[in-house]
Amino acid sequence: MKAMVLYDQAPIEERPLRLEEVPKPTPGPGEVLIKVHTCGVCHTDLHIVEGDLPLHKRPVIVGHQIVGTVEAVGPQVTQFRVGDRVGVPWVYKMCGECRFCRQGKENLCLNPLFTGWDVDGGFAEYMVSAADFTFHMPSNVDDAHAAPLLCAGIVGYRTLKLSELQPGQRLGIYGFGASAHIVIQIARYWGAEVYVFTRSEEHKQHARELGAAWVGEAQDTPPHKIDAAVIYAPAGWIVKEALRVLERGGTISIGGIYMTPIPELPYDLLYWEHTVRSTANATREDARELLQLAGEIPIRTDVEVFPLEEANEALRRLKHSELKGSAVLQIG
């Protein structure tokens, strides 16, 4: 099968992903073989490729927003049949045995595996996934538009939940890429007024098209304080700017797996019971809730489609904020 393989981390401008023929995998117990139709392109893929995150496997096939069909099922798999349309997210598998898994906090698992980091992912024609962490996809969202739901959507949704936003409140969204353009649709569905903070003029226009009540940049002061904030831009200095315009008792939730250092904060920005919290992965419950919302609202993702062999270019454009919405690889 064809796959884009990473051997050595390097700036994406050096095109470190190589198109190669590699063996087609075989599903083991509790696993399914998936023929990949589409795979979303995520900032986490970029962090793995460029070295912001260390390699857990070498070589590795990155990619963790996979939509495809089940081609074969391994022993002990009962929830899927050949031909089922499924999705695979960032979380490949949790151990189910550590104290966090036993407490229902599987996103904090001590021994997790991640798709496209610990095991080969979706920048390929086929992949194997753990059946218990694979999901049926909403029928009213096509393959290309469904792919971003599986990381940008699921993790973005968990970040929104952790912000403790209540219906009718004001939400600030910092950074307006793949997660943000999904989350704004959920927040507005819940009746929130949304303020968007982003540098890109194209992203500002995109936010307006999706119903943002106000659009500016992180250093700007919006017309009213915000009750909650979600930060998707991996820039630590934004935390201070979000605290500056956060209402008393408000919560800031950070959605990235990687962020530059957060600068020293004067205590008066944290006073009035402000909360700053990170988002660590997601649970299967988050995935099911997000995918149900995706079909119910319905969520419409904006995508730019690339062939598999242009994965380096898709990641380069992601790095330089040259995309509207999400990049998606069309495979096969």
- Given this model, what pLDDT does residue 181 score? 93
Q: If 0-12 CB within 10 Å is exposed, 13-18 middle and 19+ buried, where does residue 257 land?
A: buried
Q: Are 202 and 309 contained in the same domain?
A: no
DSSP H or E run through 56: none
**Main-chain dihedrals φ then ψ at residue 102, nearest 5 degrees:** -70, -25
Q: Are 165 and 199 in contact (CB under 8 A)?
A: no
DSSP tag of 148: G
- Given this model, what pLDDT does residue 280 score? 94
Pairing assessment for the beta strands 135-136 and 275-278 based on DSSP bridges: unpaired
Q: Are 53 and 185 contained in the same domain?
A: no
Closest Cα partner for 305 from 282, 325, 288?
325
DSSP tag of 68: E
Three-state DSSP class for 120?
coil
- Residue 66 has a CB neighbour count (10 Å cut-off) of 31
Q: Are 86 and 130 contained in the same domain?
A: yes
Q: Are 290 and 143 contained in the same domain?
A: yes
* 16: preceding bond cis by omega (within 30 degrees): no
Please name the residue that has the structure tokens 């990949």. 36
CATH number of the domain to which 123 belongs? 3.90.180.10
| Residues 6 or more apart in contact with residue 49 via CB below 8 angstroms | 6, 9, 10, 12, 16, 17, 62, 315
Sign (positive/negative) of CA torsion 158, 161, 167, 173?
A: negative
Please name the residue that has the structure tokens 């899927």. 80
The domain in which residue 191 lies consists of 154-278
Q: Are 215 and 203 in contact (CB under 8 A)?
A: no
Q: Are 12 and 110 contained in the same domain?
A: yes
Q: Are 144 and 6 contained in the same domain?
A: yes
Pairing assessment for the beta strands 91-93 and 85-88 based on DSSP bridges: unpaired
- Given this model, what pLDDT does residue 256 score? 86
Q: Are 188 and 214 in contact (CB under 8 A)?
A: no
Q: Based on the structure, what is the number of domains in the chain?
A: 2
Rounded Cα distance between 314 and 188, Å, is: 29
Q: Are 21 and 92 contained in the same domain?
A: yes
Q: Are 120 and 25 contained in the same domain?
A: yes
Rounded Cα distance between 96 and 48, Å, is: 26
CATH number of the domain to which 181 belongs? 3.40.50.720
At 73, list the tokens.
């099922």
Q: Are 268 and 285 contained in the same domain?
A: no
Sign (positive/negative) of CA torsion 27, 31, 33, 39?
A: negative
Q: Are 274 and 287 contained in the same domain?
A: no
Pairing assessment for the beta strands 275-278 and 214-216 based on DSSP bridges: unpaired
- Residue 317 has a CB neighbour count (10 Å cut-off) of 17
**Main-chain dihedrals φ then ψ at residue 149, nearest 5 degrees:** -65, -25
Q: Are 111 and 142 contained in the same domain?
A: yes
Q: Are 13 and 138 contained in the same domain?
A: yes
Please give the model's pTM, rounded to 2 decimal places: 0.90
DSSP H or E run through 202: helix 201-209
Please name the residue that has the structure tokens 């393959």. 143
At 331, list the tokens.
């495979």
pLDDT string in tens for the chain (332-residue length): 999 999 999 999 999 999 999 999 999 999 999 999 999 999 899 999 999 999 999 999 999 999 999 999 999 999 999 999 999 999 999 999 999 999 999 999 999 999 999 999 999 999 999 999 999 999 999 999 999 999 999 999 999 999 999 999 999 999 998 899 999 999 999 999 999 999 999 999 999 999 999 999 999 999 999 999 999 999 999 999 999 999 999 999 999 888 999 999 999 999 999 999 999 999 999 999 999 999 999 999 999 999 999 999 999 999 998 887 789 999 97
